[in-house]
Amino acid sequence: MTPPPANVPVAAGGASAAAIDALLAVLRPLARLAIDHGVQFGQLEELAKRAMVEAALRATEGEAGRAAPAISRLSVISGIHRKEVKRLVESTDLAELRAERAPAAELFTRWMTDRAWHDGEGRPLALPRRPVADGPSFETLARGVTTDVHPRTLLDELLRLELVAVDEAADTVALRGDAFVPTGRIEGLLAFLAANVGDHLAAAQANVAAALRAAGGEPPERPPFVEQALYADALSAGSADDAAERARAYWGRLLGTLAPELQRLEDEDRAAGRAADQRVRIGLYCYVEPVGGGAAPSDGSETR
């Protein structure tokens, strides 16, 4: 393939190797998040399609002479079939997608809620792993949920998620009482993740998009967002923990300095009657893992 001329923005030449590599790096933790929460590939694929169509709609906002982009135009931009684009544009309801459950999650839910699998006091039974006479068993419960997945595979998945415990001596399986984290807490943490990571990624995407426009000769609309990081890859485990503690301490100082300043700016805007139609999120993050688990930065933001 012949590369695009030097004065043509990268996007005009198709997906670059750097873009593919960057997307894979971003998708890896998203995939881990999906697996941790029982999100199946089909659900993630549906979410990706919706996000692509939404992005295509935003990319065509304000085009001269167009009230709304044609379905075929959105299909070309996103690479999604026209019929799928039409469906996604016409329906934004996620209820059906949210209701889908993986087989292991379905088994867990049935065990938790179906009185047929409870004792006389309404508590989930500890089940023999295999059928014993006509009594309840884990295998019977598993095959009642699906015959497409072997009960042992479902058990392995529930063990991975730390939702069940196996008593090897008695050959029984029981739900773990310490596995039940309050739903509201998990939902709050996920909402926090969505807001913080979403804005962080949006800032980085906006900076790259601005660079693309500048490569095409467009003047910058605003300075790049602050999106920097320090990196070190020659630390002991103890030193890495110390670095994480220092980051927490710096965040406390940053919070104590910036929070009053943001409040002052809000007060000044209100007093001046200026339109309050903008929002800002300022954050700091720290991540620690063994060397080789992630990619080093390529922008020179590195410390030794």
pLDDT in tens, 43-83: 999 999 999 999 999 888 866 556 677 899 999 999 999 99
> pTM for the complete prediction?
0.72
For residues 26, 27, 32, 36, the Cα torsion angle rounded to the nearest 10 degrees is 110
pLDDT, residue 67, reads 67
Question: Where does the pLDDT of residue 298 fall: very low under 50, low under 70, confident under 90, or very high at 90 and above?
Answer: very low
Question: What is the rounded distance in angstroms from the CA atom of residue 148 to the CA atom of residue 122?
Answer: 29
CA atoms within 13 A on the CB side of 161: 23
- The Cα-based distances of 151 to 33, 56, 129, 134, 155 in angstroms read 24, 43, 9, 18, 6
DSSP label of 161: T
Q: Report the mean per-residue pLDDT for the chain.
A: 86
248-257: Cβ within 8 A, 24+ apart:
248/286, 250/284, 251/284, 254/282, 254/284
Question: Where does the pLDDT of residue 102 fall: very low under 50, low under 70, confident under 90, or very high at 90 and above?
Answer: confident
DSSP string for residues in 236-292: -HHHHHHHHHHHHHHHHHHHHHHHHHHHHHHHHHHHHT-----------------TT
pLDDT in tens, 105-145: 889 889 988 888 999 888 899 999 998 887 899 999 999 99
pLDDT in tens, 210-239: 988 888 888 877 888 999 999 998 999 999
Tokens of 118: 């409870």
pLDDT in tens, 237-296: 999 999 999 999 999 999 999 999 999 999 999 999 999 999 999 999 999 999 876 554
3-state secondary structure of 175: strand
